[in-house]
């Protein structure tokens, strides 16, 4: 079963870089830790060995997860997504109708979401609210502080 994972080229490259590091550096380091712990005697009561094996299993799980994501990745810059509506990969400028503050977000997959860089997931409350909307549409977002209202004032594509 294939599950499309939409990524920007930069997001794909970042995941690929992380995978390469885990395979080429971390795997070797953890293998060495397992080897050294094994030399310390009885494996039944060797906490260092158990910890190294646990770290190895965790690493292999992360490698497998990244390989899955990369093998199912679709680069959004190549997808020819409509430019007049908010879809993944769009940079959207919102006007907070209560404060008149402008907020700019880049809509990305959950794998790339990073609020500190203005990248929000299409699965986030704001992402869900604006997905498929056009300029001048008004959306409501439920938040812990109450209902927020935004007007979409600009949509840009990568």
Residue 97: CATH number of its domain:
3.10.50.30
Give the mean pLDDT of 153-157: 92
Give the mean pLDDT of 62-86: 86
Total number of domains in the chain: 2
Q: Are residues 86 and 149 in the same domain?
A: yes
**What pLDDT score was predicted for residue 25?**
96
Which residues on neighbouring strands pair with residue 138, listed in sequence order?
A: 151
pTM across the whole model: 0.69
Which residues on neighbouring strands pair with residue 108, listed in sequence order?
A: 121
Kindly report, residue by residue over 23-48, the tens digit of the pLDDT: 999 999 999 998 888 887 766 777 88
Helices (H), the chain: 9-21, 27-38, 47-71, 125-130
Q: Are residues 10 and 70 in the same domain?
A: yes
Rounded to whole angstroms, the Cα distance separating 37 from 128 reads 48
**What pLDDT score was predicted for residue 121?**
93
**What pLDDT score was predicted for residue 12?**
92
Domain edge (last residue) among 76, 103, 127: 76
- The answer to whether the CB of 8 falls within 8 A of the CB of 89 is yes
Q: Which of 48-52, 94-98, 149-153 has the lowest mean pLDDT?
A: 48-52
């Amino acid at each position: 079963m294939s599950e499309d994972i939409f990524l920007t080229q930069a997001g794909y490259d970042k995941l690929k870089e992380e995978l390469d590091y885990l395979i080429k550096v971390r795997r070797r380091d953890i293998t060495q830790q397992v080897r050294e712990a094994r030399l310390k005697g009885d494996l039944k009561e060797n906490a260092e060995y158990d910890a190294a094996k646990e770290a190895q299993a965790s690493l292999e799980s992360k490698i497998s997860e990244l390989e899955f994501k990369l093998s199912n990745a679709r680069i959004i810059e190549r997808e020819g997504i409509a430019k007049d509506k908010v879809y993944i990969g769009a940079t959207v400028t919102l006007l907070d109708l209560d404060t008149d503050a402008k907020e700019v977000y880049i809509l990305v997959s959950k794998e790339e979401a990073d609020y500190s860089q203005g990248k929000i997931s299409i699965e986030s409350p704001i992402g869900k609210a604006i997905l498929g909307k056009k300029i001048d549409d008004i959306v409501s977002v439920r938040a812990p502080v109450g209902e927020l209202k935004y007007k979409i004032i600009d949509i840009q594509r990568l």
